[in-house]
Amino acid sequence: MSVTKEAVLEALKGVDDPELHKSLVDLGMIHEIEIAGDAVKVTVALTMAGCPLKNKIRADVEDAVRAIKGVSHVEVVLGTMTSEERARLMGEAPSEMDGMKGIKYIIAIGSGKGGVGKTTVTVNLAIALKNFGARVGILDADMHGPDIPIMLGIDEHPVGMGGMLLPLEKYGVKMMSAGSLAGAGAPIIWRGPLVNKAIKEFLGHVMWGDLDYLLIDLPPGTGDAAITVANTIPLNGVIMVTTPQKVALEDVRRAIGLFRSKEIRVLGIVENMSFFRLPGEAGEMVDIFGSGGGERLAKAFKVPLLGKIPIDPAIRKGGDEGRPVTLDAGGEVALAFAGIAEQVISEFRCGR
């Protein structure tokens, strides 16, 4: 019995897009089917050229077609939808928070002060959570200093589809940032109302898919962005980042006050730039910015001290090169972030 296009299409109806959870056939992603004897060639149009799940789509299509009686050879060619096809794909305009439907937990990462390494903590915590098998995304809510793309080594621009934006992905972590939309070096000159609108758009109109954790990298302070996140987003908690010195601790106190006034739980404190370990066998620690500040803050607010991150040139190098230090497991910094990630996972696993 010869293989028919109808049989191939029927088999492909059982193959879903991993993000959209709909059949490739129903989504119009099957562009061409060619049959020559027992060989079948299928052309699949991906929603975007850099689709992070393209290998899974290819494998699923191959498996489905190869299961057809009479097929012994399968070739899958991956193409890309046109902008018009992407615009038609979803049909109806998305509702305000459609993009958040598949997110389990949303955690804000705040500081109250600039320069304490909040973005560094966000990126490396995301990688650490991913290393434990979690599905993780990052929303860069620091509109005037959107550095997440740099630290992840992402220079692509996101594409739109049916009124939604598709997040970019690197190292298994999804990401959306104004920096990716504006381009490298382009100034983002937005006043408060535009900042508020952009944050809401990034949450609700980005096709995040199924995530265990979405980390929101907040700007410093308690201004428009932080207030918008606290008022409009169903946060499951906030992690505060500080350095040991007094001025950083005072600003974090103010930020904690903002979130607690909104009845948002503070999951704990991360003390960044906690110490510098001198080279050599002794490994003596030097408290460049003081010591004990994070512990005192955690005790004062009765929250956990989630971890202490040392000063390490590898952190700076990883951020500059777009390769977070937590990708290399085993070092002191990576282990510190792994410990923080374990506590976050445990907190939500216990349902607290």
Confidence class for position 97, pLDDT limits 50, 70, 90: low
Average pLDDT over residues 152-164: 77
Q: What token pair was written down for 154?
A: 């992402």
**Dihedral-angle region of residue 2 (phi above 0 means left; psi in -120 to 50 means alpha; beta otherwise):** beta
Average pLDDT over residues 224-247: 80
Average pLDDT over residues 175-200: 62
Please tell me the least confidently modeled range out of 83-87, 167-171, 323-327.
Answer: 83-87
3-state secondary structure of 65: helix
User: Which listed CATH number (1.10.8.80, 3.40.50.720, 3.40.50.300, 3.40.50.2300) goes with 98-349?
Assistant: 3.40.50.300
Q: In the CATH scheme, what is the homologous superfamily, with its name and number, of domain 5-89?
A: Fe-S cluster assembly (FSCA) (3.30.300.130)
Q: What is the Cα gyration radius of the chain?
A: 23
Kind plus residue range of the DSSP H or E element containing 321: helix 313-321
From CA 338, how far away is CA 209, in angstroms rounded? 25
Q: How far is CA 94 from CA 65, 99, 167, 225, in A?
A: 33, 8, 16, 23
Confidence class for position 92, pLDDT limits 50, 70, 90: very low
48 or 315: which carries more pLDDT confidence? 315
Task: Determine the straight-line distance between the first and last CA of the chain, rounded to whole angstroms.
Answer: 59
On the question of pLDDT at 189 being above 70, the answer is no
From CA 257, how far away is CA 142, in angstroms rounded? 20
Where are the domains positioned within the chain?
Answer: 5-89, 98-349
63 or 20: which carries more pLDDT confidence? 63
Average pLDDT over residues 105-115: 84
Confidence class for position 27, pLDDT limits 50, 70, 90: confident
Most confident residue range from 29-43, 108-122, 143-157, 181-195: 29-43
- Residue 112's nearest CA partner among 276, 264, 225, 267 is 225
Q: Do 215 and 126 contact (CB within 8 A), yes or no?
A: yes
Against a cut of 0.85, is the pTM above it? no
154-174 as b/e: b if 16+ CB within 10 A? beeebbebeebbbbbbbbebb
Average pLDDT, the chain: 82
Q: Note the pLDDT tens digit of each residue in 118-153.
A: 899 999 999 999 999 999 999 988 765 678 989 999
Q: How far is CA 349 from CA 134, 191, 264, in A?
A: 12, 39, 18
Confidence class for position 324, pLDDT limits 50, 70, 90: very high
Percent of the chain with pLDDT over 90: 31
Cβ neighbours of residue 130 closer than 8 Å, sequence gap 6 or more = 136, 171, 172, 173
On the question of pLDDT at 291 being above 90, the answer is no
3-state secondary structure of 238: strand
160 or 140: which carries more pLDDT confidence? 140
